[in-house]
Structure 1
Amino acid sequence: MSHRAPIRTHAADAEVDVLKERLGSLAWPEQFFGANHLTLVHPEAGTRLTFEAEDALRAWLSGSEAPVHVKTAGKWMQAHAQDVDTHKAKVLQYDWTFTTGYRGSGAGPAGPQSAHGSSGELAWEATDAQMDRGMLTARDPILMYADIPLFESELEDNGVASLSVKVTSERGLAVRVMPRCWYALLRFWLRVDGVLVRLRTTRVFCAFKDAPDVVLRETTYQEGTFAALAAAGAPREGPSYADADAAGAALAAVAPVGVTLYERQALQLKEGGAADTNMR
Protein backbone atom coordinates (compact mmCIF):
# COMPACT_ATOMS: atom_id res chain seq x y z
CA MET A 1 0.00 0.00 0.00
CA SER A 2 1.70 3.20 -1.13
CA HIS A 3 0.79 6.69 0.01
CA ARG A 4 -0.74 9.55 -1.95
CA ALA A 5 1.16 12.51 -3.35
CA PRO A 6 2.06 15.25 -0.85
CA ILE A 7 -0.56 17.93 -0.34
CA ARG A 8 0.35 21.29 -1.79
CA THR A 9 -1.15 24.51 -0.50
CA HIS A 10 -2.44 25.45 -3.96
CA ALA A 11 -1.38 25.34 -7.57
CA ALA A 12 0.97 28.11 -8.68
CA ASP A 13 -0.56 30.96 -10.68
CA ALA A 14 1.24 29.88 -13.85
CA GLU A 15 -0.16 26.36 -13.52
CA VAL A 16 -3.66 27.70 -12.96
CA ASP A 17 -3.41 29.86 -16.09
CA VAL A 18 -2.46 26.79 -18.12
CA LEU A 19 -5.33 24.79 -16.64
CA LYS A 20 -7.86 27.57 -17.23
CA GLU A 21 -6.80 27.78 -20.85
CA ARG A 22 -6.92 24.01 -21.24
CA LEU A 23 -10.42 23.77 -19.76
CA GLY A 24 -11.62 26.99 -21.39
CA SER A 25 -12.74 28.68 -18.18
CA LEU A 26 -12.12 32.13 -16.73
CA ALA A 27 -13.63 31.21 -13.36
CA TRP A 28 -11.56 29.14 -10.93
CA PRO A 29 -11.77 28.21 -7.23
CA GLU A 30 -9.42 30.19 -4.98
CA GLN A 31 -7.84 27.02 -3.63
CA PHE A 32 -7.06 24.37 -6.21
CA PHE A 33 -5.03 21.37 -5.09
CA GLY A 34 -3.95 20.13 -8.49
CA ALA A 35 -1.22 17.80 -7.21
CA ASN A 36 -3.55 15.99 -4.82
CA HIS A 37 -5.19 12.76 -5.89
CA LEU A 38 -6.28 9.36 -4.71
CA THR A 39 -5.76 6.39 -7.03
CA LEU A 40 -7.12 2.91 -6.32
CA VAL A 41 -5.57 0.15 -8.43
CA HIS A 42 -6.50 -3.51 -8.92
CA PRO A 43 -3.38 -4.83 -10.72
CA GLU A 44 -4.78 -8.21 -11.76
CA ALA A 45 -7.90 -6.69 -13.32
CA GLY A 46 -6.03 -3.76 -14.86
CA THR A 47 -8.56 -1.40 -13.26
CA ARG A 48 -7.78 2.04 -11.90
CA LEU A 49 -10.06 4.55 -10.17
CA THR A 50 -8.72 8.05 -9.54
CA PHE A 51 -10.12 11.11 -7.78
CA GLU A 52 -8.52 14.38 -8.88
CA ALA A 53 -9.35 18.09 -9.04
CA GLU A 54 -8.91 18.79 -12.75
CA ASP A 55 -11.41 16.16 -13.88
CA ALA A 56 -13.80 17.34 -11.16
CA LEU A 57 -13.76 20.83 -12.67
CA ARG A 58 -14.22 19.37 -16.14
CA ALA A 59 -17.41 17.79 -14.85
CA TRP A 60 -18.47 21.18 -13.46
CA LEU A 61 -17.90 22.87 -16.82
CA SER A 62 -19.82 20.18 -18.70
CA GLY A 63 -22.72 20.26 -16.24
CA SER A 64 -26.06 21.98 -16.68
CA GLU A 65 -26.82 23.32 -13.22
CA ALA A 66 -29.33 26.15 -12.98
CA PRO A 67 -27.59 29.34 -11.79
CA VAL A 68 -27.85 30.05 -8.06
CA HIS A 69 -28.45 33.68 -7.14
CA VAL A 70 -27.03 35.22 -3.99
CA LYS A 71 -29.43 36.58 -1.41
CA THR A 72 -28.99 40.20 -2.56
CA ALA A 73 -29.27 39.48 -6.30
CA GLY A 74 -32.97 40.28 -6.50
CA LYS A 75 -32.57 43.64 -4.77
CA TRP A 76 -29.60 44.52 -6.98
CA MET A 77 -31.48 43.72 -10.19
CA GLN A 78 -34.47 45.69 -8.99
CA ALA A 79 -32.33 48.71 -8.17
CA HIS A 80 -30.44 48.56 -11.48
CA ALA A 81 -33.25 47.42 -13.77
CA GLN A 82 -33.40 50.76 -15.60
CA ASP A 83 -29.64 50.81 -16.23
CA VAL A 84 -29.67 47.24 -17.46
CA ASP A 85 -32.55 48.02 -19.82
CA THR A 86 -31.03 51.30 -21.04
CA HIS A 87 -27.68 49.77 -21.90
CA LYS A 88 -29.21 46.47 -23.02
CA ALA A 89 -26.79 44.76 -20.69
CA LYS A 90 -26.56 41.01 -20.96
CA VAL A 91 -26.91 39.14 -17.68
CA LEU A 92 -24.46 36.25 -17.80
CA GLN A 93 -25.86 32.96 -16.53
CA TYR A 94 -23.38 30.30 -15.45
CA ASP A 95 -22.79 28.07 -12.45
CA TRP A 96 -20.39 30.08 -10.29
CA THR A 97 -20.77 27.59 -7.40
CA PHE A 98 -18.45 24.95 -8.97
CA THR A 99 -21.14 22.29 -8.46
CA THR A 100 -19.80 19.07 -9.95
CA GLY A 101 -21.31 15.69 -10.68
CA TYR A 102 -17.83 14.12 -10.61
CA ARG A 103 -17.68 10.58 -9.22
CA GLY A 104 -14.14 9.64 -10.17
CA SER A 105 -12.00 9.07 -13.25
CA GLY A 106 -11.70 5.46 -14.30
CA ALA A 107 -9.50 3.32 -16.49
CA GLY A 108 -9.94 -0.32 -17.40
CA PRO A 109 -7.95 -2.67 -19.63
CA ALA A 110 -9.21 -0.75 -22.67
CA GLY A 111 -7.63 2.53 -21.55
CA PRO A 112 -8.45 5.76 -19.71
CA GLN A 113 -11.96 7.05 -19.34
CA SER A 114 -13.33 10.03 -17.42
CA ALA A 115 -16.18 8.65 -15.33
CA HIS A 116 -18.01 11.80 -14.24
CA GLY A 117 -21.61 10.96 -14.97
CA SER A 118 -21.05 7.90 -17.20
CA SER A 119 -19.72 4.44 -16.62
CA GLY A 120 -17.88 3.56 -19.82
CA GLU A 121 -14.98 1.13 -19.63
CA LEU A 122 -15.44 0.57 -15.91
CA ALA A 123 -18.90 -0.90 -16.54
CA TRP A 124 -20.69 0.21 -13.37
CA GLU A 125 -24.05 -1.55 -13.16
CA ALA A 126 -27.14 -0.95 -11.04
CA THR A 127 -27.29 -3.20 -7.98
CA ASP A 128 -29.38 -3.94 -4.91
CA ALA A 129 -26.26 -4.81 -2.92
CA GLN A 130 -25.47 -2.49 -0.03
CA MET A 131 -22.29 -1.54 1.77
CA ASP A 132 -21.66 -3.30 5.06
CA ARG A 133 -22.38 -0.41 7.45
CA GLY A 134 -21.57 -2.64 10.41
CA MET A 135 -18.08 -3.19 9.08
CA LEU A 136 -17.60 0.54 8.51
CA THR A 137 -18.71 1.47 12.02
CA ALA A 138 -16.89 -1.37 13.81
CA ARG A 139 -14.09 -0.37 16.19
CA ASP A 140 -11.44 -2.04 14.07
CA PRO A 141 -7.88 -0.68 13.95
CA ILE A 142 -7.46 1.86 11.15
CA LEU A 143 -4.44 1.06 9.00
CA MET A 144 -4.66 4.15 6.85
CA TYR A 145 -6.58 7.42 6.85
CA ALA A 146 -6.28 10.37 4.51
CA ASP A 147 -8.38 13.50 3.98
CA ILE A 148 -7.43 14.96 0.61
CA PRO A 149 -8.75 18.39 -0.43
CA LEU A 150 -9.25 18.87 -4.17
CA PHE A 151 -10.61 22.41 -4.39
CA GLU A 152 -12.33 25.05 -2.27
CA SER A 153 -13.85 28.47 -2.86
CA GLU A 154 -15.42 31.09 -0.61
CA LEU A 155 -17.58 32.23 -3.55
CA GLU A 156 -16.54 35.87 -3.17
CA ASP A 157 -17.68 35.87 0.47
CA ASN A 158 -21.12 34.51 -0.41
CA GLY A 159 -20.60 31.07 1.15
CA VAL A 160 -18.34 28.11 0.51
CA ALA A 161 -17.90 25.32 -2.04
CA SER A 162 -15.49 22.45 -1.47
CA LEU A 163 -14.60 19.02 -2.84
CA SER A 164 -12.53 16.46 -0.96
CA VAL A 165 -11.93 12.72 -0.84
CA LYS A 166 -11.29 10.60 2.24
CA VAL A 167 -10.04 7.04 2.42
CA THR A 168 -9.79 4.53 5.24
CA SER A 169 -8.58 0.94 5.36
CA GLU A 170 -9.59 -1.25 8.26
CA ARG A 171 -8.35 -4.55 9.65
CA GLY A 172 -10.47 -6.99 11.62
CA LEU A 173 -9.18 -9.59 14.08
CA ALA A 174 -11.10 -12.34 12.27
CA VAL A 175 -8.87 -12.05 9.21
CA ARG A 176 -5.73 -11.43 11.19
CA VAL A 177 -3.36 -9.12 9.37
CA MET A 178 -5.45 -8.78 6.19
CA PRO A 179 -7.55 -5.62 5.84
CA ARG A 180 -11.30 -6.24 5.83
CA CYS A 181 -12.22 -3.44 3.48
CA TRP A 182 -11.38 -0.14 1.96
CA TYR A 183 -13.76 2.77 1.78
CA ALA A 184 -13.49 6.09 -0.05
CA LEU A 185 -15.75 9.10 0.41
CA LEU A 186 -15.89 11.85 -2.23
CA ARG A 187 -17.97 14.81 -1.15
CA PHE A 188 -18.92 18.10 -2.75
CA TRP A 189 -20.39 20.58 -0.29
CA LEU A 190 -21.94 23.94 -1.13
CA ARG A 191 -23.44 26.62 1.08
CA VAL A 192 -24.69 29.86 -0.41
CA ASP A 193 -25.35 32.13 2.55
CA GLY A 194 -29.01 32.93 3.02
CA VAL A 195 -30.03 30.79 0.06
CA LEU A 196 -29.30 27.05 0.02
CA VAL A 197 -27.11 24.11 0.98
CA ARG A 198 -26.08 21.30 -1.39
CA LEU A 199 -24.30 18.01 -0.70
CA ARG A 200 -23.18 15.47 -3.31
CA THR A 201 -21.68 12.33 -1.85
CA THR A 202 -20.07 9.35 -3.56
CA ARG A 203 -19.08 6.37 -1.41
CA VAL A 204 -16.94 3.56 -2.81
CA PHE A 205 -16.47 0.32 -0.87
CA CYS A 206 -14.85 -3.09 -1.21
CA ALA A 207 -14.98 -5.90 1.35
CA PHE A 208 -11.91 -8.02 0.79
CA LYS A 209 -13.10 -11.21 2.47
CA ASP A 210 -16.74 -11.32 1.41
CA ALA A 211 -16.53 -9.87 -2.12
CA PRO A 212 -12.94 -9.06 -3.07
CA ASP A 213 -13.75 -8.69 -6.76
CA VAL A 214 -16.74 -6.38 -6.40
CA VAL A 215 -16.56 -2.64 -5.77
CA LEU A 216 -19.76 -0.93 -4.63
CA ARG A 217 -20.53 2.72 -5.34
CA GLU A 218 -23.29 4.72 -3.71
CA THR A 219 -24.16 8.23 -4.91
CA THR A 220 -26.48 10.63 -3.07
CA TYR A 221 -27.45 14.18 -4.05
CA GLN A 222 -29.14 16.33 -1.39
CA GLU A 223 -30.03 20.00 -1.42
CA GLY A 224 -32.59 22.56 -0.42
CA THR A 225 -33.15 26.20 0.32
CA PHE A 226 -32.79 27.06 3.98
CA ALA A 227 -36.45 28.09 4.04
CA ALA A 228 -37.68 24.79 2.57
CA LEU A 229 -35.45 22.70 4.83
CA ALA A 230 -36.60 24.60 7.93
CA ALA A 231 -40.23 24.04 6.90
CA ALA A 232 -39.48 20.30 6.73
CA GLY A 233 -38.06 20.31 10.25
CA ALA A 234 -34.35 20.83 9.61
CA PRO A 235 -32.38 23.37 11.66
CA ARG A 236 -32.43 26.95 10.47
CA GLU A 237 -29.39 28.45 8.80
CA GLY A 238 -26.46 28.75 11.19
CA PRO A 239 -24.01 26.42 12.96
CA SER A 240 -25.91 23.35 11.73
CA TYR A 241 -24.52 24.04 8.25
CA ALA A 242 -21.05 25.22 9.25
CA ASP A 243 -19.24 22.36 7.50
CA ALA A 244 -19.93 19.33 5.33
CA ASP A 245 -20.36 16.94 8.27
CA ALA A 246 -22.84 19.24 10.02
CA ALA A 247 -24.75 19.89 6.80
CA GLY A 248 -24.92 16.15 6.15
CA ALA A 249 -26.45 15.53 9.57
CA ALA A 250 -29.01 18.31 9.07
CA LEU A 251 -30.02 17.00 5.64
CA ALA A 252 -30.20 13.40 6.88
CA ALA A 253 -32.64 14.48 9.59
CA VAL A 254 -35.30 15.42 7.02
CA ALA A 255 -34.55 12.87 4.27
CA PRO A 256 -36.04 11.94 1.87
CA VAL A 257 -36.88 15.66 1.67
CA GLY A 258 -34.05 17.24 -0.28
CA VAL A 259 -32.81 14.00 -1.84
CA THR A 260 -32.63 14.52 -5.61
CA LEU A 261 -30.60 11.42 -6.51
CA TYR A 262 -29.84 8.09 -4.86
CA GLU A 263 -28.03 5.43 -6.85
CA ARG A 264 -26.27 2.16 -6.01
CA GLN A 265 -23.88 0.57 -8.49
CA ALA A 266 -21.42 -2.31 -8.58
CA LEU A 267 -18.22 -2.83 -10.52
CA GLN A 268 -17.23 -6.44 -11.18
CA LEU A 269 -13.47 -6.88 -11.28
CA LYS A 270 -11.58 -9.72 -12.91
CA GLU A 271 -12.55 -13.11 -11.53
CA GLY A 272 -9.86 -14.45 -9.25
CA GLY A 273 -8.10 -11.09 -9.04
CA ALA A 274 -5.86 -10.17 -6.15
CA ALA A 275 -7.65 -8.96 -3.04
CA ASP A 276 -4.88 -6.62 -1.92
CA THR A 277 -5.98 -3.61 -3.96
CA ASN A 278 -3.26 -0.95 -3.95
CA MET A 279 -3.90 2.62 -2.91
CA ARG A 280 -1.75 5.39 -4.33
Structure 2
Amino acid sequence: MIFGNNHLTLLHRPSSYTLSFHAEPALDLVDKTGSNGLLKVHYAKAWSATREKTSSSIKEVVKPFDWSYTTSYKGTESPGTNGQTLQQDKNARIPLELLQRRDPILFADEVVLYESELDDNGVSVLSVKVRVMEARMLVLCRFFLRLDNVLVRVRDTRVYVDFEEERVVREYTAREGEFNEVKKKLYMEGLMPDQITIAFRDANQLAHLLPVVEQEVESVCLKGTGVASPQEGR
Protein backbone atom coordinates (compact mmCIF):
# COMPACT_ATOMS: atom_id res chain seq x y z
CA MET A 1 0.00 0.00 0.00
CA ILE A 2 1.51 3.29 -1.12
CA PHE A 3 0.31 6.51 0.48
CA GLY A 4 1.56 8.81 -2.24
CA ASN A 5 -0.13 11.95 -0.97
CA ASN A 6 1.48 11.68 2.46
CA HIS A 7 4.67 13.64 2.99
CA LEU A 8 6.62 15.70 5.48
CA THR A 9 8.51 18.76 4.25
CA LEU A 10 10.85 20.96 6.28
CA LEU A 11 11.44 24.42 4.81
CA HIS A 12 13.98 27.03 5.92
CA ARG A 13 12.34 30.14 4.48
CA PRO A 14 15.33 32.53 4.52
CA SER A 15 17.45 30.23 2.33
CA SER A 16 14.70 28.12 0.67
CA TYR A 17 16.51 24.97 1.85
CA THR A 18 14.16 21.97 2.12
CA LEU A 19 14.32 18.42 3.39
CA SER A 20 11.27 16.33 2.57
CA PHE A 21 10.08 12.75 2.91
CA HIS A 22 7.95 11.09 0.20
CA ALA A 23 7.03 7.53 -0.74
CA GLU A 24 8.12 7.59 -4.39
CA PRO A 25 11.83 8.44 -3.93
CA ALA A 26 11.97 6.00 -1.01
CA LEU A 27 10.66 3.17 -3.18
CA ASP A 28 13.03 4.18 -5.96
CA LEU A 29 15.93 3.11 -3.70
CA VAL A 30 14.55 -0.42 -3.36
CA ASP A 31 16.78 -2.95 -5.15
CA LYS A 32 15.11 -3.62 -8.51
CA THR A 33 17.42 -6.38 -9.72
CA GLY A 34 17.95 -8.66 -6.74
CA SER A 35 21.72 -8.12 -7.07
CA ASN A 36 22.03 -7.54 -3.31
CA GLY A 37 20.58 -10.95 -2.53
CA LEU A 38 16.90 -11.75 -2.15
CA LEU A 39 15.37 -12.64 1.20
CA LYS A 40 13.37 -15.86 1.40
CA VAL A 41 10.51 -16.79 3.71
CA HIS A 42 11.34 -19.30 6.45
CA TYR A 43 9.55 -22.20 4.75
CA ALA A 44 11.23 -21.68 1.36
CA LYS A 45 13.74 -24.50 1.81
CA ALA A 46 11.12 -27.06 2.81
CA TRP A 47 8.82 -25.90 0.03
CA SER A 48 11.61 -26.19 -2.55
CA ALA A 49 12.46 -29.72 -1.40
CA THR A 50 8.84 -30.81 -1.71
CA ARG A 51 8.51 -29.26 -5.13
CA GLU A 52 11.64 -30.99 -6.38
CA LYS A 53 10.06 -34.36 -5.57
CA THR A 54 6.77 -33.60 -7.26
CA SER A 55 7.60 -31.22 -10.11
CA SER A 56 11.28 -31.52 -10.98
CA SER A 57 10.68 -30.09 -14.44
CA ILE A 58 9.37 -26.74 -13.10
CA LYS A 59 12.05 -24.09 -12.97
CA GLU A 60 12.22 -21.72 -10.00
CA VAL A 61 10.70 -18.30 -10.60
CA VAL A 62 12.00 -15.49 -8.41
CA LYS A 63 10.69 -11.95 -8.19
CA PRO A 64 13.50 -9.89 -9.75
CA PHE A 65 13.37 -7.20 -7.06
CA ASP A 66 13.65 -6.84 -3.32
CA TRP A 67 10.12 -7.84 -2.32
CA SER A 68 10.80 -6.76 1.29
CA TYR A 69 10.84 -3.14 -0.03
CA THR A 70 13.93 -2.34 2.05
CA THR A 71 15.08 1.24 1.51
CA SER A 72 17.97 3.35 2.71
CA TYR A 73 15.96 6.53 2.14
CA LYS A 74 17.14 9.49 4.24
CA GLY A 75 14.90 12.17 2.77
CA THR A 76 14.97 14.32 -0.34
CA GLU A 77 17.17 17.40 0.01
CA SER A 78 16.90 20.63 -1.96
CA PRO A 79 19.90 22.98 -1.52
CA GLY A 80 19.46 26.52 -0.25
CA THR A 81 20.02 29.62 -2.35
CA ASN A 82 23.75 29.51 -1.55
CA GLY A 83 24.03 25.80 -2.26
CA GLN A 84 23.93 24.62 1.36
CA THR A 85 23.58 20.86 1.75
CA LEU A 86 24.13 18.30 4.47
CA GLN A 87 27.74 17.19 4.75
CA GLN A 88 29.31 14.34 6.69
CA ASP A 89 30.26 15.55 10.15
CA LYS A 90 31.85 13.09 12.57
CA ASN A 91 31.65 15.67 15.38
CA ALA A 92 27.94 16.35 15.00
CA ARG A 93 25.46 14.68 17.32
CA ILE A 94 21.82 14.86 18.27
CA PRO A 95 21.57 16.27 21.84
CA LEU A 96 19.46 13.62 23.54
CA GLU A 97 19.64 15.47 26.86
CA LEU A 98 17.70 18.37 25.33
CA LEU A 99 15.14 16.10 23.69
CA GLN A 100 14.53 14.32 26.99
CA ARG A 101 13.49 17.55 28.68
CA ARG A 102 9.79 18.02 29.36
CA ASP A 103 9.42 20.95 26.97
CA PRO A 104 5.86 21.55 25.76
CA ILE A 105 5.17 19.88 22.41
CA LEU A 106 3.66 22.42 20.03
CA PHE A 107 2.97 19.98 17.22
CA ALA A 108 3.32 16.24 16.66
CA ASP A 109 2.19 13.94 13.89
CA GLU A 110 2.98 10.72 12.04
CA VAL A 111 2.46 9.73 8.42
CA VAL A 112 2.91 6.33 6.77
CA LEU A 113 4.56 6.44 3.34
CA TYR A 114 4.12 2.78 2.39
CA GLU A 115 3.34 -0.54 4.01
CA SER A 116 3.20 -4.24 3.09
CA GLU A 117 2.28 -7.42 4.96
CA LEU A 118 4.69 -9.40 2.73
CA ASP A 119 2.04 -11.95 1.78
CA ASP A 120 1.31 -12.65 5.46
CA ASN A 121 4.98 -13.31 6.20
CA GLY A 122 5.62 -10.24 8.33
CA VAL A 123 5.54 -6.49 7.81
CA SER A 124 7.45 -3.83 5.91
CA VAL A 125 6.61 -0.21 6.67
CA LEU A 126 8.14 3.22 6.13
CA SER A 127 6.79 6.03 8.30
CA VAL A 128 7.75 9.53 9.40
CA LYS A 129 7.16 11.13 12.79
CA VAL A 130 7.69 14.76 13.73
CA ARG A 131 7.77 16.47 17.11
CA VAL A 132 8.09 20.24 17.38
CA MET A 133 9.05 22.16 20.52
CA GLU A 134 9.65 25.89 20.93
CA ALA A 135 13.42 25.71 20.50
CA ARG A 136 13.91 22.53 18.49
CA MET A 137 12.37 19.85 16.31
CA LEU A 138 12.96 16.14 15.81
CA VAL A 139 11.97 14.01 12.83
CA LEU A 140 12.20 10.22 12.71
CA CYS A 141 11.90 8.47 9.35
CA ARG A 142 11.87 4.75 10.13
CA PHE A 143 11.89 1.69 7.90
CA PHE A 144 10.84 -1.43 9.83
CA LEU A 145 11.01 -4.94 8.39
CA ARG A 146 9.98 -8.10 10.20
CA LEU A 147 10.26 -11.22 8.09
CA ASP A 148 8.82 -13.89 10.36
CA ASN A 149 11.34 -16.47 11.58
CA VAL A 150 14.03 -14.98 9.33
CA LEU A 151 15.08 -11.37 9.95
CA VAL A 152 14.34 -8.09 11.72
CA ARG A 153 15.60 -4.86 10.19
CA VAL A 154 15.30 -1.23 11.34
CA ARG A 155 16.68 1.75 9.44
CA ASP A 156 16.30 5.08 11.22
CA THR A 157 16.88 8.56 9.88
CA ARG A 158 16.71 11.15 12.65
CA VAL A 159 16.71 14.84 11.76
CA TYR A 160 17.33 17.33 14.55
CA VAL A 161 16.73 21.04 13.98
CA ASP A 162 17.92 23.75 16.36
CA PHE A 163 15.82 26.85 15.65
CA GLU A 164 18.16 29.36 17.32
CA GLU A 165 21.33 28.08 15.66
CA GLU A 166 19.42 27.26 12.46
CA ARG A 167 21.37 24.02 12.36
CA VAL A 168 20.24 20.67 10.95
CA VAL A 169 21.76 17.36 12.01
CA ARG A 170 20.82 14.14 10.21
CA GLU A 171 21.73 10.77 11.71
CA TYR A 172 21.21 7.53 9.78
CA THR A 173 21.46 4.22 11.62
CA ALA A 174 20.84 0.78 10.09
CA ARG A 175 20.29 -2.20 12.39
CA GLU A 176 19.40 -5.80 11.70
CA GLY A 177 19.51 -9.23 13.27
CA GLU A 178 18.22 -12.76 12.92
CA PHE A 179 14.64 -13.29 14.06
CA ASN A 180 15.48 -16.10 16.49
CA GLU A 181 18.32 -14.12 18.08
CA VAL A 182 15.96 -11.23 18.73
CA LYS A 183 13.43 -13.64 20.17
CA LYS A 184 16.05 -15.01 22.59
CA LYS A 185 16.88 -11.50 23.76
CA LEU A 186 13.21 -10.78 24.40
CA TYR A 187 12.99 -13.94 26.52
CA MET A 188 16.08 -12.78 28.43
CA GLU A 189 14.29 -9.50 29.18
CA GLY A 190 11.62 -11.54 30.92
CA LEU A 191 8.85 -11.24 28.37
CA MET A 192 6.18 -13.93 28.21
CA PRO A 193 5.25 -15.57 24.85
CA ASP A 194 2.20 -13.34 24.30
CA GLN A 195 4.27 -10.26 25.15
CA ILE A 196 6.94 -11.34 22.67
CA THR A 197 4.30 -11.64 19.94
CA ILE A 198 3.22 -8.07 20.67
CA ALA A 199 6.85 -6.86 20.79
CA PHE A 200 7.52 -8.17 17.29
CA ARG A 201 4.88 -5.74 16.02
CA ASP A 202 6.61 -2.73 17.59
CA ALA A 203 9.94 -1.50 16.23
CA ASN A 204 10.45 0.55 19.41
CA GLN A 205 10.74 -2.66 21.42
CA LEU A 206 13.12 -4.29 18.96
CA ALA A 207 15.51 -1.62 17.69
CA HIS A 208 17.80 -1.60 20.74
CA LEU A 209 18.23 -5.39 20.45
CA LEU A 210 19.59 -5.23 16.90
CA PRO A 211 23.30 -4.84 16.05
CA VAL A 212 24.25 -1.65 14.20
CA VAL A 213 25.45 -2.42 10.66
CA GLU A 214 25.78 1.14 9.34
CA GLN A 215 25.79 4.66 10.76
CA GLU A 216 26.33 8.11 9.30
CA VAL A 217 25.99 11.66 10.66
CA GLU A 218 25.65 14.83 8.58
CA SER A 219 24.98 18.46 9.39
CA VAL A 220 24.43 21.87 7.84
CA CYS A 221 24.20 25.35 9.35
CA LEU A 222 21.73 27.64 7.63
CA LYS A 223 22.13 30.69 9.86
CA GLY A 224 22.75 33.87 7.93
CA THR A 225 22.38 32.11 4.58
CA GLY A 226 19.20 33.83 3.45
CA VAL A 227 19.00 36.38 0.65
CA ALA A 228 18.58 39.85 2.13
CA SER A 229 15.68 41.98 0.97
CA PRO A 230 16.36 45.63 -0.04
CA GLN A 231 15.23 46.82 3.39
CA GLU A 232 17.34 44.20 5.19
CA GLY A 233 20.40 45.25 3.20
CA ARG A 234 20.26 48.86 4.42
- Shorter-chain TM-score above 0.5: yes
Report the residue type matching 1:36 in the other structure.
N
Report the residue type matching 1:226 in the other structure.
F
Output the CA distance in 2 between the equivalents of 1:109 and 1:206. 16
Which runs of no fewer than 5 residues in structure 1 stay unpaired?
Answer: 1-30, 112-119, 171-178, 252-257, 275-280
User: Deviations along 1:113-150, whole A, 9 cap, x unmatched?
Assistant: xxxxxxx9724223312111111111110000011111
Report the residue type matching 1:265 in the other structure.
E
Shift of 1:62: 5.5
Is 1:259 the counterpart of 2:218? The answer is no
Output the CA distance in 1 between the equivalents of 2:38 and 2:84. 32
Give the direction of change, closer, same or farther, for the CA distance of 1:109–1:216 in structure 2 (3 Å limit). Answer: closer
Indicate conservation of the 8 Å contact 1:55/1:105, yes or no. yes
Q: Which residue of 1 aligns with 2:75?
A: 104
Match of 1:246 among 205, 208, 219: 205
Shift of 1:104: 0.4
Q: Give me the CA root mean square deviation.
A: 2.6
Q: Which residue of 2 aligns with 1:221?
A: 174
Output the CA distance in 1 between the equivalents of 2:76 and 2:118. 26
List aligned pairs for 1:25-174, cutoff 5 A: 31-61=1-31, 65-82=36-53, 85-109=56-80, 122-170=85-133
| 3-state SS of paired residue (1:56) | helix
Which runs of no fewer than 5 residues in structure 2 stay unpaired?
Answer: 189-195, 228-234
Output the CA distance in 1 between the equivalents of 2:63 and 2:112. 29
| 3-state SS of paired residue (2:94) | coil
- Percent identical pairs in the alignment equals 36
Shift of 1:193: 0.9
Output the CA distance in 2 between the equivalents of 1:273 and 1:235. 53
Output the CA distance in 1 between the equivalents of 2:62 and 2:124. 23
Is 1:195 the counterpart of 2:150? The answer is yes
User: Deviations along 1:31-67, whole A, 9 cap, x unmatched?
Assistant: 2111010000112222111101111111114685421
Output the CA distance in 2 between the equivalents of 1:104 and 1:208. 20
Indicate conservation of the 8 Å contact 1:241/1:250, yes or no. no
| 3-state SS of paired residue (1:75) | helix
Output the CA distance in 1 between the equivalents of 2:225 and 2:86. 18
Give the direction of change, closer, same or farther, for the CA distance of 1:234–1:148 in structure 2 (3 Å limit). Answer: same
Give me the TM-score of the superposition, normalised by structure 1: 0.70
